[in-house]
Each structure stands twice: as structure tokens, then as C-alpha cells.
Amino acid sequence: MSTTTKPAPAAAPRISDRWLGFIILGILALTWGSSFILIKKSLTAYSATQVACLRLSITALALFPVVWARRREVEWQRWRMFLAVGLLGTAIPAFLFSFAQQRVSSSVAGMLNTLTPLFTLVLGIVFFQAKVIWAKVAGVILGLAGATVLILLGQKGGLSGSVAYSMLIVVATVCYGANLNIVATYFGNTNSLTLSAVSFTMVGIPGLIFLLTGTDFLHRLSTQAGALTGLGYVAILSLGGTVIASVLFFHLVKKTSAIFSSTVAYLMPVIALGWGVLDGETMTVFHLAGIALIMAGVYLSRR
């Protein structure tokens, strides 16, 4: 009696790590590059303070289960450092961007956000003993020149808005740069998701309390037209741009490299510009020149 062996079912086609890396990179660029238009849309229904508090609150509520599940793993004696990461990496920039985008277009906000890696380098050299490489220093100077063009000359096209409000975004990128240096210096052996969850929750819970007790959020939510839509924009910004994107970014770094992952900084302003143009914002040669200088500076600083 003969038996026949059934052929094994064909394996499902598998995306290579290389192509998966490009897919994740594209998702991150689209997600983070869309943050600025989402802030702009949220401000049509809520105040700048409420938008910032909502971002912090929704993120904290989403990540609190992670904190609870990993509470025994957290080095709570380092709470001041966790708080510093939460303030510099999330809370302070959330308020600065919300207030700035009352008078600054989403396109320019996305362009100026590209200063983050440049300030990361500057602060690393000044305060964290990072090695001085003159090509990187030249990149910083070039990037700052581009920011100056955007802020001072970009107004000729009616896109940039107030110089003072634009400077709020510059300060936010300084905060991001300081935060990245702190994480690299003091949290090299800490799980990235744990670090994010603890630091976000530490600033998000007070943000939630202030939102509910110190603002008219509940009244606006129940009475103002477009309030639910605005809340939806902030929810997408918080859950997509912070929670999900962070997990994807950490996965991308592990599967590819930090250098490849960092190229998302080159793609974000393109997405921000695209959303701005679709929303009726205009661009001039000064904006193109400014972003070109900033991107060239970022390229030099990462060589």
C-alpha cells in the first residue's frame, strides 16, 4: 500500500527587511509630517492651551497601562530625569507649537522643526562633551541661516507669520535637542517604550487635571460646533504621532540603523509643505531657499 506525501503549503510571500524599512520610514514621515496640519485644524475648535493639554492627556491615558504593567521595572529613584524627558521632549514643545501655530503656518512650522538635529548637535558639544567636527559645525551654521531666511524673509509671502511666534518653534527644537542628549547620555540602557510611557505619563496626568479644571474644555466640547472634529484631530495627533509612531521608530532603528532611521527628518518637511499647500497656504522662493539651507545643514551635521 503506497502513500503519497502532500506537498507543504506554499509560504506566504514575505516582505524583505529592506522594503519593510522603507515602508515604515514612509509611514513615519507621513505621520510626523502631518502633525503640524493637525495642530492647525485643532486650533479652530480649542485654545492653544487646550490643544497642548489634550495632546498630553490622550498620550498619557494611552500609555498608562504600559507604566502599570512595568511599574516594578522602572527606576523610580530617577524620577527627576524621567520628568526632564517628559517636559523637554513632550510638554514644553506641545505648548510652544500650539501657541506658535496661532500665527505661524503649518508649512513653516514643519520646516523649522527640522532644526532639531542641529540643536541636538550644538547642545551635545556645549553640555555633553560631544566631539567637535567642523563639517557638522558648518552644517549648524548653514541650517541656522536657513531658519533666518524663513523667519525674516518668508513673511514676504504671507506664510511665516509673526517673527516672535516663529521663535517659539525654534525654542521647541532646542528643547527637543536637549531631550535627545539627555536620553542618549542617561537612558542608554532603559527600554525605550518604558522611558516614553513613564515620562509622558508624568506630564500628561497634570495636563489632564488642568484641562478639566482650569479650562472650559468640557463646555466647548458640549456646545461648540466642530468640537468633536477638533478632538478627533488631536486624538490622531496624540495616538498616531506619539504612541504608534514611537513604537514604529524604535522598531525601525533596531531593524535597520540609526542613520537610516534619521532620514525621516528629510521627509517630514516635504509632507508638512504638501499639507500646507493643499490647505491653501502659499509658498515663495524665500521658503524654498530657507528649507534648502536647513536640509543642507542637516545633511552636513549628520556626515
Sign of the Cα pseudo-torsion (87, 109, 160, 287, in order) = positive
Range from 75-84, 86-95, 240-249, 257-266 carrying the lowest mean pLDDT: 257-266
More confident residue, 99 or 279: 99
Lowest mean pLDDT, pick from 51-65, 75-89, 237-251: 237-251
Q: What is the pLDDT of residue 212?
A: 96
pLDDT digits (tens, 9 = 90+) for 63-75: 999 999 999 999 9
Among 103, 226, 206, 203, which Cα is nearest to 155's? 103
- Provide the pLDDT for residue 262: 64
The radius of gyration computed from the CA coordinates of the chain, to the nearest angstrom, equals 21
Is the model more confident about 57 or about 243?
57
State the SS3 of the chain.
Answer: CCCCCCCCCCCCCCCCHHHHHHHHHHHHHHHHHCHHHHHHHHCCCCCHHHHHHHHHHHHHHHHHHHHHHCCCCCCHHHHHHHHHHHHHHHHHHHHHHHHHCCCCCHHHHHHHHCCHHHHHHHHHHHHCCCCCCHHHHHHHHHHHHHHHHHHHHHHHHCCCCCHHHHHHHHHHHHHHHHHHHHHHHHCCCCCHHHHHHHHHHHHHHHHHHHHHHHCCHHHHHHHCCCHHHHHHHHHHHHHHHHHHHHHHHHHHHHHCCHHHHHCHHHHHHHHHHHHHHHCCCCCCHHHHHHHHHHHHHHHHHCC
Alpha-carbon span 23 to 271, nearest angstrom = 15
| Average pLDDT, integer, range 263-272 | 79
**pLDDT tens track for 101-150:** 998 888 888 888 888 877 888 888 888 777 767 777 787 788 788 777 77
Smallest CA-to-CA distance from 91 within 247, 199, 203 is with: 203
pLDDT of the residue at 177: 86
Confidence of residue 260 (pLDDT cuts 50, 70, 90): low
pLDDT score recorded for residue 258: 56
pLDDT at 7 over 80: no
Q: What is the mean pLDDT of the chain?
A: 83
pLDDT tens-digit profile of 28-44? 889 988 999 999 999 99
Can you tell me the distance from the alpha carbon of 117 to that of 178, in angstroms, rounded to the nearest whole number? 10
> 96 vs 246, which has greater pLDDT?
96
> Which range, 181-190, 224-233, 245-254, 287-296, has the best average confidence (pLDDT)?
224-233
What distance in Å separates the CA atoms of residue 113 and residue 100, rounded to the nearest whole number? Answer: 12
Q: What is the pTM of this model?
A: 0.83
The predicted structure's pLDDT at residue 34: 92
